Structure 1
Amino acid sequence: MCGRITQHRSPDAYARAIGWPARSYRAGAGARAANWNVPPGSHPWLMHTLEDDEGRIEPIHWGYRPSWAAEKGLPMAINARIEKAATGAFFRGLWKSGRAIVPADGWYEWTGEKGHKQPWYIRLKTDRPMFMAAITSYRPDKEPTDNTGFVIVTAAAEGGLVDVHDRRPVVFSEEDALLWMDNGFPPEQAEQLARSVALPPDAFEWYEVGTEVNRVGNNGERLIQPNAVA
Structure 2
Amino acid sequence: MCGRLIAGEESWSEHFDRHRAFLDEMNITEMDPDAPAAALGFNVKPTQSVNIAINGKTGLRATTARWWFVPHYFNGTPKDWSYTTFNARIEKANDTRTFKQAWQTGRCVLPVRGYYEWQKLGKEKQPWVIAPQGNAPMFFLAGLWEKMQDGTATCAILTRAPDPALASIHNRMPVMLRESEITPWMANASSDDVVKSTLGDGWAGRFDAHKVRRFGMKDDGDSLIEPFDPDLEAPRLI
TM-score range, shorter chain: 0.7 to 0.9
Structure 2 CA distance for partners of 1:177 and 1:191, relative to 1, 3 Å: farther
1:224 maps to: 225
* TM-superposed deviation, 1:88: 1.7
Mapped pair 1:122 → 2:130: yes
Mapped pair 1:93 → 2:101: yes
Contact 2:39 2:48 in 1 (8 A): no
* RMSD value, Cα: 3.0
Mapped pair 1:192 → 2:194: yes
| Residue identity matched to 2:221 | G
| Residue identity matched to 1:178 | T
Gaps of 5+ in 2: 234-238
Query: What is the TM-score with the length of structure 2 in the denominator?
Result: 0.79
Structure 2 CA distance for partners of 1:18 and 1:177, relative to 1, 3 Å: farther
Contact 1:14 1:103 in 2 (8 A): no
More displaced 10-residue stretch of structure 1: 173-182 or 38-47 = 173-182
Contact 2:6 2:44 in 1 (8 A): yes
Contact 1:109 1:121 in 2 (8 A): yes
* TM-superposed deviation, 1:174: 1.3
In the alignment, the residues of structure 2 paired with residue 153 and residue 23 of structure 1 have an alpha-carbon distance, to the nearest angstrom, of 20
* TM-superposed deviation, 1:194: 5.0
In the alignment, the residues of structure 1 paired with residue 40 and residue 146 of structure 2 have an alpha-carbon distance, to the nearest angstrom, of 25
1:207 maps to: 210
- Greater RCO (Cα-Cα under 8 Å, separation 6 or more): 1
| Residue identity matched to 1:98 | G
Query: What is the TM-score with the length of structure 1 in the denominator?
Result: 0.81
* TM-superposed deviation, 1:160: 2.4
1:82 maps to: 90
In the alignment, the residues of structure 2 paired with residue 167 and residue 84 of structure 1 have an alpha-carbon distance, to the nearest angstrom, of 14
Structure 2 CA distance for partners of 1:91 and 1:37, relative to 1, 3 Å: same
| Residue identity matched to 1:168 | M
Deviations 1:205-227 (A, max 9, x none): 11110112xx2321111111101
2:113 maps to: 105
Q: How many residues align?
A: 220
* TM-superposed deviation, 1:122: 0.1
In the alignment, the residues of structure 2 paired with residue 134 and residue 23 of structure 1 have an alpha-carbon distance, to the nearest angstrom, of 16
Give SS of 2:205's match. Answer: helix
Contact 1:15 1:21 in 2 (8 A): no
| Residue identity matched to 1:193 | V
Give SS of 1:59's match. Answer: strand
Gaps of 5+ in 1: none
